[in-house]
Each structure stands twice: as structure tokens, then as C-alpha cells.
């Protein structure tokens, strides 16, 4: 990928990011069900990924998510390193199909920029094998016992006891994710702005208070991936050195 082209895309993203909250309110197309599938999602799921091409495609993603895929602790961009391949495929396909509103990412994700379903499969596989950030952004740490109980009562069925999600069921791994990103996505899911969210989750969290929200997401942000999934502090992806 031409460096000038990446810089141009990054500039586009920076311009779009400012009105992000407003853009998230704007419906793009009629929403589908939580995981209706079809289109590029189904195509990508049945392709054999090519990690070398996935690395080339990821060069575009790195403009925002960083060369490590670790995002930013302030939650502007999430950590995507180590995410389940099927989850990444679904989310990328949904963004391209305008089933999930993400005006910041959309210009990067266009087929004209990264390619078709094969590119989706390739970059998802590449992302899934990246080591994760050992020092992600965490919450205030004031109600962790409450957060632990809320997680056990409400989140375990889908996201697992360790926060590792489920690749086969398209449930994302949420351990090690930046607190501020979790907070923003949770709010959009609760309010219906993230239109491809699992309706079971939307219903589950409707009775959560603001205090509940802070407590459970603070707890989640402190759930660490297994040691073998973590990069060393200061690690830099050698593929882009």
C-alpha cells in the first residue's frame, strides 16, 4: 500500500472522526438481524485465509489501530489484536454493508481500498494471531466487586468466564479491551445506535444504571488474556519495521 495513500486515508478518518457521534445517529440502511449473514460475510467465512496478503491489507488498518493492533488507551480506536477471526469478518462485512455505522472506518474498509471477501478473510486471520496489549486502558477501579458480580450474572453466557468470547458463535473476546472503548460501544448498543448488536445483549443491559455500567466495564477492562496471548511491554510488530 502506497504510504501517501495511507496518509490520505488517515486524513479522511481524522476529518470524519470529529462528527462521529452525530454520524452514528444517522441510519444508513434498514437494519438486519443480529447475525443474518449473507453477502461478503458468508463468502469470507468459506475462504482459506492468506496471512501474507492479510499483512498487506493490515497496513491500511494500522493507520488507526497501530502496527500492533493495540488501538489507543483513550478508546478512540479499539484493540483488535487477538480478536476472533469470525468476529472480525462479521464486523468488517457489516461495516462495508452499512449494517454497522462506522464512518471513521468506512473509507478504509472499502473494497476499492483493501479488496473483496478474500481480503476480509486474510486480514481477519492476520489480526487474530497478533499478540495483545499487556497494558490496555482500564477504568477507575472503585467498584470491582460489584462489576465482577454483574459480569457473572449477565455476561458470562456469551463472553465466557474469562472474557474470551466464542469464535464459532461470533461473540467477541472482550478481555484486554480499552475501558473507554468498551464504555462508548456499550452506550451505543444500549441506545440502539450499534445496529448489528446482539438483541439479547441490548435487552440484557437496559436495566443497568450508570453505576452498574462503570462497574462491569471497569471489571472487564481488567480481565487479562492468557499470558501466551500477550505481547511484551514495548513490543513492536516486526512486519512493519
Specify the pLDDT at position 28: 41
Residue 35's pLDDT band (cuts 50, 70, 90) = confident
Specify the pLDDT at position 196: 93
Specify the pLDDT at position 37: 74
Taking CA atoms, 95 is separated from 18, 43, 120, in Å, by 19, 15, 11
Residue 13's pLDDT band (cuts 50, 70, 90) = very low
Residue 241's pLDDT band (cuts 50, 70, 90) = confident
For residue 161, what is its C-alpha cell? 468466564
| pLDDT at 205 > cutoff 60 | yes
Residue 22's pLDDT band (cuts 50, 70, 90) = very low
Residue 33's pLDDT band (cuts 50, 70, 90) = low
Domains and CATH numbers, the chain: 3-134+235-240 (1.10.760.10), 144-229 (1.10.760.10)
Q: Is the pTM of this model over 0.85?
A: yes
Mean pLDDT value across residues 167-196: 96
Instruction: Please give the share of the chain, as a percent, with pLDDT higher than 90.
Output: 84
* pLDDT tens for each residue of 75-103: 999 999 999 999 999 999 999 999 999 99
* pLDDT tens for each residue of 147-172: 999 999 999 999 999 999 999 999 99
Across 22-26, 28-32, 136-140, which has the greatest mean pLDDT?
A: 136-140
Specify the pLDDT at position 34: 74
Mean pLDDT value across residues 58-67: 97
| pLDDT at 223 > cutoff 90 | yes
Specify the pLDDT at position 6: 46
Amino acid at each position: 500500500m502506497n504510504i501517501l495513500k495511507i496518509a490520505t486515508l488517515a486524513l479522511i478518518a481524522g476529518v470524519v472522526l470529529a462528527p462521529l457521534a452525530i454520524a452514528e445517529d444517522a441510519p444508513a440502511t434498514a437494519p438486519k438481524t443480529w447475525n443474518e449473514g449473507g453477502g461478503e460475510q458468508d463468502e469470507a467465512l468459506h475462504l482459506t485465509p492468506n496471512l501474507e496478503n492479510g499483512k498487506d491489507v493490515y497496513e491500511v488498518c494500522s493507520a488507526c489501530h497501530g502496527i500492533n493492533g493495540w488501538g489507543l488507551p483513550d478508546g478512540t480506536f479499539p484493540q483488535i489484536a487477538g480478536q476472533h477471526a469470525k468476529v472480525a469478518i462479521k464486523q468488517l462485512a457489516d461495516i462495508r454493508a452499512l449494517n454497522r455505522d462506522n464512518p471513521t472506518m468506512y473509507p478504509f474498509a472499502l473494497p476499492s481500498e483493501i479488496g473483496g471477501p478474500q481480503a476480509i478473510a486474510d486480514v481477519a486471520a492476520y489480526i487474530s494471531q497478533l499478540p495483545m496489549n499487556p497494558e490496555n486502558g482500564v477504568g477507575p477501579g472503585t467498584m470491582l466487586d460489584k462489576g465482577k458480580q454483574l459480569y457473572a450474572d449477565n455476561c458470562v453466557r456469551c463472553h465466557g468466564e474469562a472474557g474470551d468470547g466464542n469464535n464459532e458463535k461470533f461473540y467477541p473476546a472482550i478481555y484486554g479491551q480499552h475501558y473507554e472503548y468498551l464504555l462508548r460501544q456499550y452506550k451505543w448498543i444500549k441506545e440502539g445506535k450499534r445496529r448489528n448488536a446482539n438483541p439479547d445483549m441490548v435487552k440484557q443491559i437496559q436495566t443497568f444504571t450508570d453505576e452498574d455500567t462503570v462497574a462491569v466495564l471497569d471489571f472487564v477492562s481488567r480481565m487479562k488474556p492468557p499470558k501466551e496471548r500477550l505481547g511484551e511491554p514495548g513490543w513492536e510488530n516486526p512486519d512493519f519495521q
